[in-house]
């Protein structure tokens, strides 16, 4: 089932992606832990992805995979009529037509979310390839069970 998120919830999720503590606090205080988990899952946190799957947030889990250009995940979003999430993933992957479509539908909050996630992914990528970032990652041990 497709859970509807208010414009405010998406805007607070965007604030969280931009590392604004107000966004994170709002999401936690208003019961949107699944949106917090989406960012963590996009950033390759396996436990966050498992949280989405175990709690039946299949649309959001598919969104995470669609961000990483998984065609089956994108098809799942379309089949579930999760068009905003599908378009958001396409924007992250450089599709300008998806951005234009959301703007025409007055859904700029999803465009802003996509651009924030895209920027965060680029930041993470830069961190992984810069000499300082590589050094930092050597000492940043992830805990997987």
Mean pLDDT across the chain: 89
Per-residue model confidence (pLDDT) at position 144: 40
- The residue-averaged pLDDT of 106-112 equals 97
Classify burial at 22, counting beta carbons within 10 Å of its beta carbon; exposed 0-12, middle 13-18, buried 19 or more: exposed
User: Could you tell me the pLDDT band of residue 3, with boundaries at 50, 70 and 90?
Assistant: confident
* pTM recorded for the entire structure: 0.85
Q: What is the tens place of the pLDDT at every residue in 10-37?
A: 999 999 999 999 999 999 999 999 999 9
Q: Which long-range contacts (CB under 8 A, 24 or more apart) does 116-119 make?
A: 116/14, 116/17, 116/18, 117/17, 117/39, 117/42, 117/67, 117/88, 117/92, 118/91, 118/92
Rounded to 10°, the helix 7-17/108-129 angle is 20
- Is 141's pLDDT higher than 60? no
């Amino acid at each position: 089932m497709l859970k509807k998120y208010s414009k405010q919830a998406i805007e607070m999720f965007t604030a969280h992606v931009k590392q604004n503590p107000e966004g994170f606090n709002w999401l936690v205080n208003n019961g949107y832990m699944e949106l917090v988990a989406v960012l963590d899952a996009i950033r390759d946190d396996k436990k966050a992805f498992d949280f989405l799957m175990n709690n039946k947030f299949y649309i959001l889990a598919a969104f995470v995979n669609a961000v990483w250009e998984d065609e089956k995940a994108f098809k799942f979003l379309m089949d579930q009529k999760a068009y905003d999430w599908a378009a958001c993933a396409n924007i992250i992957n450089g599709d300008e037509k998806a951005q234009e479509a959301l703007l025409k539908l007055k859904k700029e909050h999803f465009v802003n979310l996509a651009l924030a996630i895209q920027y965060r992914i680029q930041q993470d990528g830069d961190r992984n390839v810069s000499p300082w970032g590589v050094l930092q990652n050597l000492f940043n041990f992830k805990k997987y069970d």
